[in-house]
Amino acid sequence: MSRIDFYHLQKQSLDEVLPVLLNKAYATGKRILLKIGKPEDMERINSWLWTYSDESFLPHGSKKDGFADQQPIWLTSDDDNPNQAEFLFLADGAEVSIEIITKFERVFNIFDGRSEEALSQARRLWKTYKDAGNEVYYWQQSDRGAWQQKG
């Protein structure tokens, strides 16, 4: 079974949170697959990860860049895992089946708490993943933007 962490965005945007979480995951030495829910956002997020900070570097690539097997972080909107990632990030409304979830050691589901559609999707996925026997955790931002584990 997999560990699945739900990150409920309330104080910050995906663009602010994603690089921070990816940096922490990358520091573990694990390979990462970032599944983007809206394919039209792929290039924007890909570019953002190269330029979000002058002081940090997140090596990554996408189908456009090629060489998936050499990329520690791979961006996709498909269900493939060409870089043999152990960690899966779901962002921008992305989701995968239980069969795919179980192939990952850890899953990070980042959702926009200001969107009723995203909240409904997160609730549905929480139930599905929990009912399948996965460890699920819920993280919410405090007033200061720090992550706090809830219930």
Q: Give pLDDT tens digits for 38-92.
A: 988 888 999 889 888 888 788 999 998 889 999 999 999 999 999 999 999 999 9
For residues 40 and 138, is the Cβ–Cβ distance under 8 A?
no
Query: Can you read off the two tokens belonging to residue 110?
Result: 């980042």
Residue 96: pLDDT over 90 = yes
Dist. CA 53–CA 113, nearest whole Å: 25
Give pLDDT, residue 136. Answer: 96
Residue 146: pLDDT over 90 = no
Give pLDDT, residue 131. Answer: 95
Candidate ranges 14-18, 112-116, 135-139; pick with highest mean pLDDT:
135-139
The three state secondary structure string of the chain is CCEEEEEEECCCCHHHHHHHHHHHHHCCCCCEEEEECCHHHHHHHHHHHHHCCCCCCCCCEECCCCCHHHCCEEEECCCCCCCCCCEEEEECCCCCCHHHHCCCCEEEEEEECCCHHHHHHHHHHHHHHHHCCCEEEEEEECCCCCEEEEC
Confidence of residue 151 (pLDDT cuts 50, 70, 90): low
What does each C-alpha distance from 12 to 48, 90, 119, 136, 146 come to in angstroms?
Answer: 16, 17, 16, 22, 10
What does each C-alpha distance from 123 to 82, 114, 133, 139 come to in angstroms?
Answer: 29, 14, 16, 13
pTM above 0.75, yes or no: yes
Confidence of residue 149 (pLDDT cuts 50, 70, 90): very high
Nearest CA among 1, 40, 29, 14 for reference residue 141:
14
Give pLDDT, residue 23. Answer: 94
The stretch 99-105 carries a mean pLDDT of: 94
Set out the domains of the chain in order of their start, with CATH numbers. Answer: 3-150 (3.40.50.10110)
Q: Give pLDDT tens digits for 4-31.
A: 999 999 888 999 999 999 999 999 999 9
